[in-house]
Chains A and B, each alone.
Chain A
Amino acid sequence: MDTTQLLKGVLDAAVLAVVAQEDGYGYDVVRRLRAAGLEEVGEASVYGTLRRLYSSGALTTYVVPSDEGPHRKYYGLNPQGRAALDAQRKSWHEFSTALTTLLETEGAAR
């Protein structure tokens, strides 16, 4: 399976989930996604997704000044984002259950 394509479909949910655990800035989210097992995720995709989620109103953003370097823009989840995450969770569950059943059934049948 081409994980890139798969990832594109679920990146929103993945990013929302990561930010839901803890607010993060761009590369921080990338790092956590990769640590969670999505190693193929591209930085640009994550940044773009963060941007889009913010524009659609699911994320808040704030700037944290830093002593060592430039200020970082942090993203956090707002109630709308939380609702979106719940919805995605649900639809993923349904989707993955259906697909798993389909794949298992086919394999089991053989």
Chain B
Amino acid sequence: MTATAVLDHVHAYALAVRAHLGDLPPDQVEDLTDGLEADLAEALQDAPRGGTDEPSGAVDLERRFGHPAAYATELRTAAGLAPRAQAGAVPRRRSPLRALRTRWDETVRAVEQSPAGPVLVGLTPSLRPLWWVLRGWVWFVVLGAVGGVLLGTYGGSLFVPDGGRWLGLLALVTVSFLLGARAPALRRGGRLVRGASVAAAVLALPLLMGLLGDLGRLAAPPEAADVWVPEDGVWVEGQQVENLYAYDAEGRALDGVQLFDERGRPVVATGQEGWLQQYVDGLDEEWLFAPTTGAGGRTLWNVYPLVGAPADDWEWGDDGPELRGQQPAAPPAPFARAAAVERPGTTSTQRSGSTDTRPGATGGRVDPPASAPGATPSDAGASQEAGDPAGAEPQPPAADPGVDPATPPPAGAVTP
């Protein structure tokens, strides 16, 4: 009879013994029969008693050890436990659970007895501390979920602790560790601990998936949709501006300045399709601003400074607000005149006599340090001009009629 066959019979015998102890709590059965197979197998290796030569089946095990029921009775009696309750006794309420437990125990034992058993069992001691940590974390997550439901506190990740909850996780992992380290055998511990461990084992995998999901979300860079995209506008020192005031190099205030960026897009500070009503800084009242009308009747909001009038001065006519009795004007400028400045590349003599404020227009060809990388649409025409370095000046010239024929396309005659 091969060794594995013997083990099979031993296993079957042990199962039968355990079955006869089925009325006892599973942990008690465990205490009584832990190592039973090993002991039976070892006993068989010794000279068999009873005079038979070769045991060849389960029957011989009975001959050797007695009927499993008798074995079980002897076992429990010696252990000081009451004999088995009579058949027909009220079945205990938890019998389905016990049946499950018994099946679990049998499965575990079957794995242990299998050829892979010693390898796995040898592996488990080293994996055990890992399991204790995992178990503590699972308890932490479960308690966090329960606490969240009971106390109504949410926020943060359920799986990854933040702030003070790290302490809770640490405490639970420590508890798990102590419970694990104090109990040498795998199935030790009170019923509560055992149940909590089993629950932890069952929940570990789903919760780990949740953890991975959370970690992925935390680590991933924010998607474009999540990032706050600023609206159209002009920001200065973190504040959105409502109006722009332009002054030339001599410091004179300019009116009707059309502003575009390097790609020819209008620079709009505030404004929308229709009329703009907003409070003006420094004044007590609301102003209604009027857009500039461009070619084809388009409303332009990139002509500065924006002009309008106090909201009360407007009357609402058929075509929209109308201003009676006054022209729309710009709100008071921050200063009537700005300081005179010197642009790079201009000499004082050349500049003083010229009304043209474009740099380099007086003849000096310069390459300012920060030049735009390439020609832009608005500068396509400008590069033709003498003395104007291509791409050097992103700002189109002031709308001086006749000075610069190559104005950016959208700018035409403007009417406030």
Partners in one complex: yes
**Interchain CB contact under 8 A, B35 and A72:** yes
Chain A residues 37 to 71 lying within 8 A of chain B, measured CB to CB, are 42-49, 51-52, 55, 62-63, 65-71
A24–B155 CA distance with the chains assembled, in angstroms: 55
Among B37, B39, B76, the residue within 8 A (CB) of A43 is B39
Contact A70 B35 (CB under 8 A): yes
Q: B113 to chain A: which residues have CB within 8 Å? A: 70
Contact of B75 among A11, A47, A66, A72 (CB under 8 A): A47
- B46 and A31 contact, CB distance less than 8 A: yes
B34 interface contact, C-beta 8 A:
yes
Residues in A51-97 with C-beta less than 8 Å from chain B: 51-52, 55, 62-63, 65-73
A26 in contact with B35 (CB, 8 Å): yes
Within the complex, the shortest CB–CB distance from A47 to chain B, in Å, comes to 6
Task: How many A-B residue pairs have C-beta atoms within 8 angstroms? Tell me.
Answer: 85
Docked CA distance A103–B380 (Å): 133
A47 contacts which of B32, B66, B121 (Cβ < 8 Å)? B32
A45 in contact with B74 (CB, 8 Å): yes
Whole-angstrom distance between the Cβ of A62 and the nearest chain B Cβ: 6
Q: Is the CB of B118 within 8 A of A70?
A: yes
B71 at the interface (CB under 8 A from A): yes
Q: Is B38 an interface residue (CB 8 A)?
A: yes
CA distance A11 to B75 in the complex (A): 13
CB neighbours of A66 from chain B (8 A): 118
Q: Which of B38, B39, B78 contacts A52 (CB 8 A)?
A: B78
Q: Tell me, rounded to whole Å, the shortest Cβ–Cβ distance linking A27 to chain B.
A: 4
Select B32's contact among A48, A67, A68, A70, beta carbons within 8 Å: A48
Tell me, rounded to whole Å, the shortest Cβ–Cβ distance linking A86 to chain B.
Answer: 22
The answer to whether A17 has its CB under 8 Å from any CB of chain B is no
Q: Return the contact of A69 from the options B46, B75, B118 (Cβ within 8 A).
A: B118
Given the known inter-chain contacts A27-B43, A44-B75, A49-B79, please indicate yes or no for A67 contacting B35, CB distance below 8 A. no
Of the candidates A47, A49, A66, A72, the one having the most CB atoms from chain B within 10 angstroms of its own CB is A47
Question: How far, in angstroms, from A31 to B34 measured CA to CA in the complex?
Answer: 18
Residues of A contacting B118 with CB < 8 Å?
Answer: 66-70
Chain A residues with Cβ below 8 Å from B65 are 43-44
CB contacts (< 8 Å) of A63 on chain B: these are 184-185
B109 to chain A, nearest CB (A): 9
Contacts of B79 in A (CB 8 A): 47-49, 51-52, 55
How far is A65 from B112 in the complex, measured between Cα atoms in Å? 13
User: Chain A residues with Cβ under 8 A from B40's Cβ?
Assistant: 43
Please tell me if A19 contacts chain B, counting CB pairs below 8 Å.
Answer: no
The answer to whether residues A73 and B34 also contact, given A47-B75, A52-B80 and a CB cut-off of 8 A, is yes
- The one of B36, B38, B74, B117 in contact with A42, judged by C-beta atoms closer than 8 angstroms, is B74
Q: Which residue of B lies closest to A27 (CB)?
A: B39
Cβ of B196 to closest chain A Cβ, rounded Å? 22
Which residues of B (35-52) have their CB < 8 Å from a CB of A?
35-40, 42-43, 46
Question: A residues within 8 A CB of B121?
Answer: 65, 70-71
Question: Which B residues are CB-close (under 8 A) to A70?
Answer: 35, 37-38, 112-113, 117-118, 121
Nearest CB to that of A48 among chain B residues? B78
In this assembly, does B57 line the interface, its C-beta being within 8 Å of a C-beta of chain A? no
Q: Mark B66-106, 1 if CB is under 8 A from A, else 0.
A: 10000110111111100000000000000000000000000
Interface residues of B in 12-31 (CB under 8 A from A): 31
A14 touches B (CB below 8 Å): no
- Selected contact of A11 from candidates B72, B78, B117, CB within 8 Å: B78
Bound together, the chains give a CA A104 to CA B266 distance in angstroms of: 128
| CB-defined contacts of A27 to chain B, threshold 8 Å | 38-39, 42-43
Answer whether residue A16 sits at the interface, using C-beta atoms and an 8 A cutoff: no
Q: Chain B contacts of A62 at CB under 8 A? A: 184
Give CA–CA (A65, B118) in the complex, Å.
Answer: 9
* B74/A72 in contact, CB under 8 A: no
Q: Which residues of chain B from 100 to 136 have a CB within 8 Å of any chain A CB?
A: 112-113, 117-118, 121-122, 125
Q: Would you list 29 pairs from A and B whose C-beta atoms are within 8 A, ordered by A residue?
A: A11-B78, A25-B39, A26-B36, A30-B39, A43-B39, A43-B65, A43-B71, A44-B74, A44-B78, A45-B74, A45-B77, A47-B32, A47-B39, A47-B75, A48-B75, A48-B77, A48-B78, A48-B79, A48-B80, A52-B78, A52-B79, A63-B184, A65-B121, A65-B122, A69-B118, A70-B35, A70-B113, A71-B121, A73-B35
Given contact pairs A30-B39, A45-B74, A55-B80, a sample of 11 additional A-B residue pairs in the complex whose CB atoms are under 8 Å apart:
A25-B39, A27-B42, A31-B46, A44-B71, A47-B39, A51-B78, A52-B78, A63-B185, A67-B118, A72-B38, A73-B35
4 cross-chain pairs, A with B, having the tightest CB-CB distances, nearest first? A48-B78, A48-B79, A44-B74, A27-B39
